[in-house]
Homo-oligomer: A and B are copies of this chain.
Amino acid sequence: MARAHAAADAAADSGKTRYHHGDLKNALQAAASALIAQRGAEAVSLREISQAAGVSHAAAYRHYADKQALLADLAEAGFRELIAINRRTVAATAGGPAAQLQACGRAYVRFGVRQPQLLQLMFGAAITDWQAHPSLAGASAALADTLSDVVKAGQASGALREGDVGDLTLTAWSLVHGLALLMAGRRIPQAAVDAAFVRRASQRCVALLIDGLGRR
């Protein structure tokens, strides 16, 4: 943000388009992010991202090894955003760990529904070789850790049952992840996926997870 602002100032100072962009990496990220949000990562070409950023089609290669590297950068930012949302949600939610788990689940689903193409980029098959992007893998693992922390806090408080943290975390993560993807991808037959439905469905699903589907 700060760098982008500085670059804009510099452009205003010079009063004309410069041969050197000055902050092309951020401009590419912004252009790619906007285009992908509209049409999805598969449907956007590096050439039109470059064009949207105001440079030639080859300029991106000064900042990214290839298209995959740009996509990995955006996906990583998505993971970091989702982690930050989770942390903020935990901090902002009163009512104890059970309420926090509820709120985090809902925030996860909301993130996915608001940015479905980003969610697909993060968890889909567009990035073919995760081993080539270790910091992306790191961000993904950090998200798993954040979720695990919420579950641990729930167990420590007595709101959640005892048992292997990994198992509980995987179960909770799978539920909200599946729900987010089904909603983001419009795979749920019955309903219009508006804000009210997202709130209601994520609330009910997480409540069912905590209480259990089995007979009482």
Contacts and interface: CB of A to CB of B under 8 A. Distances in A.
A179 B174 contact: yes
A204 B210 CA distance: 15
A175 interface: yes
Interface in A165-193: 166-168, 170-179, 181-182, 185-190
Contacts of A175: 171, 174-175, 178, 209
A213 interface: yes
Contacts of A190: 166
Contacts of A181: 123, 177-178, 181
Interface residues of A, number: 57
Contacts of A42: 42, 125-126, 128
Interface in A71-126: 98, 101, 117, 120, 123-126
A70 to B, nearest CB: 15
A178 B168 contact: no
Given A124-B124, A125-B41, A212-B209, A174 B182 contact: yes
A42 B187 CA distance: 20
Contacts of A176: 174, 178
29 contacts: A42-B42, A42-B126, A43-B128, A117-B125, A123-B187, A124-B124, A124-B125, A125-B185, A140-B187, A144-B188, A161-B211, A161-B215, A164-B204, A166-B190, A168-B208, A170-B201, A170-B205, A171-B175, A171-B208, A171-B213, A172-B213, A173-B182, A174-B177, A174-B179, A174-B205, A175-B175, A177-B182, A178-B178, A178-B181
Closest 8 CB pairs of A and B: A212-B212, A178-B178, A174-B178, A177-B178, A174-B179, A210-B214, A171-B205, A120-B125
